[in-house]
Structure 1
Amino acid sequence: MSLDEKLTDAFPEDLPDVIDDNLKMATVRDLLTMCLGQEQGSLMGEQRPLYQEDDWVKMSLAIPFQYKPGTHFVYNNVGPYLAGILVQRRSGCDLVSYLTPRLFKHLGIKRPTWETDPLGNSFGAGGLFLTLSELHKFGLFYLNKGKWNGKQILFEKWIEESTAASDTDNYGYLFWRGEYNSYRADGKYSQISMILPDKNAVISMVAECRNGEELMSALYDLVCAKL
């Protein structure tokens, strides 16, 4: 699987009857950067229970691609969902089964619960249930550049590429960039694992916060600044 693979090649059986020029240009990389080209976010938490469609792959690809991929940042669950679908189709198993021997087992994370779509596919854009300590291990794994207990599990080059800011926004491949040269995995209502390479530190939290910007400001001012 290549980041440069076109979505029209990756999902040939799921495409709409009319394929616009922007969809023809979209690649797997565009699934990870929130610059897919669609005008607004879909498959978001409050939307998912209300869809009448069961086939979310065909539904997602039928949403108009209003912008040239890579030019317009919109937080959108369609991208990571389709990326997760592609991994499952190529591997022949769900994401938990794929990641357990390759990642979760190494980090000491027991087989976790992960939300599924109506057809039983793992919902790669969210819905993964981790404890605070498990989330923190993920942050430490990235701080250690893909190495755990002396073993390189993930390429260091991928760690660097996935956490670098894009040309269009302060965002990598599903990672937000932040102050103090930080980057973070940031889930809904501030489920956060923030990595600060310059300070050799990881800050993780689980929360139910409806004002994420205020919480992030406090985190920077009261914790990061004092490290």
Structure 2
Amino acid sequence: MEYLDNFLKKVDNEKLNINYIQVYKNDKLIDEYSKIQPKTRLNVYSVAKSITSIGVGIALQEKLIELDDKIYTFFPQINFDKLNPLIKKITIENLLTMTSGLKSKLFFCDDPERYRVKDWVSYYFNSDFVYEPGTHFDYSTFNTYILSCVIESASGASLLDYMTPRFFEKIGIGNPNWLACPMGHTFGAHSLMLTIDEMSKIGSFLLHEGNYNGEQILSQSYIKKATTNKIAMSNVKSKYGYGYQFWINKDKISYRADGKLGQFIIVVPDSKLVVSVQSFEQRKLYDIIWSNLVVPYM
């Protein structure tokens, strides 16, 4: 408890709005903090992007898709001949690594367009693409949303319905809640609701490289690919790197799922450590959490 107590003193001194913390080491819950009781599902924001990556991995495993598939082939309703020719070059891997070539990020979960635009697929493909796919990193919620739609097109089920029996239920997350866009496609990029316990279960799944309670749900090879840097460092705002919808940590070895307002699943394989955090804090928390909470437990 000493490390957590010291961290909570810093939280109190700096008036940081943190709701939950769980620390697992060697598969045991060794420390925990709860500001709100009972534990409740909260929006984990862009942590959902990493969960979508898991869904992509499962679809790859089931041979529904391939990393080098061109995404336009999954949207027969769109007339791509009238759109930017760069779009036909975008692959699933480009979406995973945020290198689709978009000129701008487009709208995020709370931007005004979120409440006005109804057909998000058409909005994406009619946006400006100015970079050769695979050459320019730009973190956009829409890349992940389109991944969700690709899985839906390939499987015939929404991302939520696809992942529920294949992932959520297998790790003990019953009746998962994930919002859909106005056209009924799972958001993918955000608006997944999880408890702190459920975040830690996902962390355990990742720590064990796709294995949960003895079942290999997702291949080790995909987890390793997804959680290692895929981008030239100069192209990434975080100088530590980015994988398939996972951020690389300061040690350049471990990784995290990272969401707005301070949502984290931080996985440190060498230390057999999983630190999950849920917050409602406008200030950036990663550096504080890494230095004052994760490193001491390492």
User: Normalised by the shorter chain, which TM-score bucket?
Assistant: over 0.9
TM-score for both structures, normalised by structure 1: 0.93
Match of 1:187 in 2: 259
- Provide the secondary structure at the position in 2 that maps to 1:129: strand
Q: 2-side partners of 1:50 and 1:99: how far apart?
A: 24
Once structures 1 and 2 are overlaid, which stretch shifts more, 44-53 or 159-168?
44-53
Match of 1:216 in 2: 286
Structure with the higher strand share, 1 or 2: 2
Q: Which amino acid aligns with 1:85?
A: C
Q: 2-side partners of 1:80 and 1:176: how far apart?
A: 14
Matches within 5 A, 1:73-84: 73-84=137-148
| Identity rate, percent | 34
TM-score for both structures, normalised by structure 2: 0.72
Match of 2:90 in 1: 26
**Does 2:127 align with 1:63?**
yes
CA contact (8 A) 1:15 1:61 kept: no
1:52-105: CA deviation from partner (whole Å, max 9, x where unpaired) = 432111110111111111111111011110110111122222222211111111
| Number of residue pairs matched by the alignment | 225
Matches within 5 A, 1:1-227: 1-16=65-80, 18-47=82-111, 50=114, 52-168=116-232, 169=236, 170-180=241-251, 181-212=253-284, 215-226=285-296, 227=298
CA contact (8 A) 1:94 1:122 kept: yes
CA contact (8 A) 1:16 1:62 kept: no
Instruction: Quote how far apart the aligned CAs of 1:40 are.
Output: 1.5
Structure 2: tracts of 5 or more residues without a match: 1-64
Once structures 1 and 2 are overlaid, which stretch shifts more, 92-101 or 188-197?
92-101
Q: 2-side partners of 1:217 and 1:74: how far apart?
A: 21
Structure 1: tracts of 5 or more residues without a match: none
Q: 2-side partners of 1:57 and 1:46: how far apart?
A: 18
Q: 2-side partners of 1:158 and 1:93: how far apart?
A: 22
Once structures 1 and 2 are overlaid, which stretch shifts more, 96-105 or 136-145?
96-105
CA contact (8 A) 2:101 2:131 kept: yes
Between Structure 1 and Structure 2, whose CA radius of gyration is higher?
2
Instruction: Quote how far apart the aligned CAs of 1:4 are.
Output: 0.4
Once structures 1 and 2 are overlaid, which stretch shifts more, 45-54 or 70-79?
45-54
CA contact (8 A) 1:8 1:15 kept: no
Instruction: Quote how far apart the aligned CAs of 1:50 are.
Output: 4.4
